[in-house]
């Protein structure tokens, strides 16, 4: 009985994970113009700074332990908000890649597949990063580094640029 419940729980978790990675974002994006209007403008450097372990060490040395905990928890909340916006962008980029694949151009399809794969991988990383940030908010001394998310987000935007250069014109 317990093993059946465990299997059902794992299956439900896997289904929820697949849905969260592949669901459409809150915006329906059909063209490059839609992307430009609906994307969340996020500076990759700010995301990197929020996740930078060197910045954390500097704050730890510069502030009293009480001030550090308060400031660090605020910083974690800001990071989680920014990651939610980045996740929305990744969802819109998955949709852009799906639309680009409809053009049946071999090079464009290859670039779109790379964009989709990068966006799904990035969303997976975000899915894993959130619990780590929650734990860090509870225990600031834990010291986990998530600095690579900023680099991965930059790679995701570069993949979009490649798709756009290959001829991803507005789709109707």
Token code pair at residue 18: 């697949």
Residue 106 within any structural domain of the chain:
yes
Residue 62 has pLDDT above 90, yes or no: yes
List, for residues 27-53, the tens digit of each pLDDT value.
577 777 777 777 788 887 887 788 777
Residue 172 within any structural domain of the chain:
no
Residue 14 within any structural domain of the chain:
yes
Number of domains in the chain: 1
Query: What is the residue range of 131's domain?
Result: 2-165
Residue 171 within any structural domain of the chain:
no
Instruction: Report the range of poorest mean pLDDT among 42-46, 92-96, 155-159.
Output: 155-159
Token code pair at residue 103: 């053009």
Is 31 buried (19+), middle (13-18) or exposed (0-12) by CB count in 10 A?
Answer: middle
Residue 84 has pLDDT above 50, yes or no: yes
Closest CA to 97 of 75, 120, 74, 79: 120
Greater pLDDT, 19 or 136: 136
List, for residues 96-126, the tens digit of each pLDDT value.
888 888 888 888 888 888 888 888 888 888 8
Give the DSSP letter of residue 12: H
Residue 30 within any structural domain of the chain:
yes
Residue 150 within any structural domain of the chain:
yes
Residue 148 has pLDDT above 80, yes or no: no
């Amino acid at each position: 009985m317990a093993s059946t419940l465990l299997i059902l729980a794992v299956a439900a978790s896997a289904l929820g994970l697949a849905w969260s990675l592949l669901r459409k974002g809150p915006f329906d994006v059909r063209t490059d113009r839609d992307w430009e209007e609906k994307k969340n403008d996020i500076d990759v450097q700010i995301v990197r700074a929020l996740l930078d372990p060197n910045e954390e060490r500097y704050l730890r040395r510069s502030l009293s332990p009480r001030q550090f905990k308060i400031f660090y928890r605020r910083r974690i909340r800001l990071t989680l908000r920014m990651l939610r916006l980045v996740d929305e962008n990744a969802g819109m980029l998955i949709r852009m890649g799906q639309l680009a694949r409809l053009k049946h151009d071999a090079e464009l399809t290859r670039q779109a597949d790379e964009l989709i794969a990068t966006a799904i991988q990035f969303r997976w990383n975000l899915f894993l990063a959130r619990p780590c940030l929650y734990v860090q908010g509870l225990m600031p001394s834990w010291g986990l580094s998530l600095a690579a998310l900023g680099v991965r987000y930059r790679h995701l935007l570069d993949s979009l640029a490649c798709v756009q250069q290959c001829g991803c014109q507005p789709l109707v």
